[in-house]
Amino acid sequence: MSRKFDVIVIGGGPAGYVAAIRAAQQGLATACIDAWLNRDGRPAFGGTCLNAGCIPSKALLESSELYHRARVEFANHGIGVGHLELDLGQMQSRKAKIARQLSGGIEGLFKANQVTGFFGYGHLLPDNKVRFTPHDGAAELLEAEHVVLASGSTPVELPMVPFDSDRVVDSWGALDFATVPERLGVIGAGVIGLELGSVWARLGAKVTILEALDEFLPMADAQIARDAQRQFKQQGLDIRLGAKVQDAEVSQAGVRLKYEDTQGGHELAVDKVVVAVGRRPFTQELLDPLAGVDINERGFVEVDDECRTTALNVWAIGDCVRGPMLAHKGSEEGVMVADLIAGKTAEVNYDVIPSIIYTAPEIAWVGQTEQQLKEAGARYKVGTFNFAASGRAQAMDQGAGLVKVIADAESDQILGVHICGPLAGELIGEAVVAMEFQASTEDLQRTIHGHPTLTEAVHEAALSADRRAIHAINR
């Protein structure tokens, strides 16, 4: 006899566990199935984000930035640290502890909201039945009125540079190095490649990043990307654009990468390689062929604007569906779907999803870039403000970078905000709220910002759009 629920969520990452909690808050009997196992064999909710992605990478980014600042910047503040030691083991222990705490927090939230959690595999059968197979037991049949697929994504593997869990690793492996590699190669200069490259460069590795595209961060505003690239170069990150990897020779001595660019063929000798060329949806063993859920040619579950699949009362959210692979995008889809199942009105505003790269400088943006508006033939205006003129940024010794605000030339509605500089990931929140409420640059201009704060840079950039900046020369 099968157990019955109102909602079964398959996947316990940021999309899945949020959907489960929200559904339970709506009074629906909810279950959440997750198959994640950590290196030690311990199951955990939170998916890649919490256990092997967003959270552990930010922990190492924070630790490595503190180490870098102590080694390079503290003397400028009149702070002498004497002999500085790196305890990588302690950094890794701290990272793991944070992930464990947050994963345990999800279990606590499940109990508080009466979500039934299952560790193991969920397989969707016809008629919204789910075969649940625990990691160490016999399978059982579950049933639900609604099923939400939130199976996440997995790193893309290059056939010419296959993972070996030692010399050639994915993003998870790059978070678990026991020693700092002397020479590290990173394939891919996207979000993951830049963040991981930054971690190990700060800790002393000579990092070379090979990017197949000719343009650096093409998804970001070009002006912001140029500024970030300049700062990364000053930090010693060797970013080679238009570098297409052809082959890799792995030996006990390291890895020899062969790549081509406009100048011809080259070789790069490194100790370890991180492959960070993107992620693909993970749907392995998720669906019975007769379940009625369509998968497109790129491997994504087909959904409409409200995340309904082609099967009745089956929904899909997060990385396994179209759109940016961002934890907060998946979480908002989880909230929307749970509300829709409960008969509420809900939507996700995909036009104001922020993107953040947690390097130093941080890079963050929301809305349209200047190049997108040019291509569309739109009439727009731009305001910028450099952190060099920010008293708070200078006091922090973080005066590089800028804020850029783009608005419609006629209506003054804000169309995009782009930031490269200190705490950009936090500053972008103001822009997201403003754009959610269709604010104008005048709205930001007339909003009082505390002094001295980094948010004043956003204020000044908005003023600059109308050539009204106070603390910068208007041109």
- The residues annotated with a catalytic role in the active site are 451
State how far the Cα of 455 lies from the Cα of 231, in Å rounded to an integer: 21
Triad 224, 228, 234: Cα angle to 5° = 150
Residue closest to 399 by CA, chosen among 349, 452, 323: 452
Residue 416, classed as helix, strand or coil, is strand
Tokens of 103: 């994963």
Amino acid at 50: L
Across the beta sheet with 206-211, the strand order is 168-169, 272-275, 183-187, 206-211, 238-241
Q: Is the distance from CB of 144 to CB of 128 less than 8 angstroms?
A: yes
Which secondary-structure segment (H or E) carries 385?
A: strand 380-386
Amino acid at 438: Q
* Cβ partners under 8 Å of residue 186, min gap 6: 193, 196, 197, 207, 208, 209, 210, 273, 274, 276
Residue closest to 465 by CA, chosen among 441, 444, 443: 441
Residue closest to 210 by CA, chosen among 194, 195, 221: 194
Which secondary-structure segment (H or E) carries 460?
A: helix 455-464
CB burial readout 299-310, b (16+ within 10 A) else e: ebbebeeebbbe
CA distances 143 to 29, 125, 136, Å, are 11, 10, 21
Tokens of 366: 């929301």
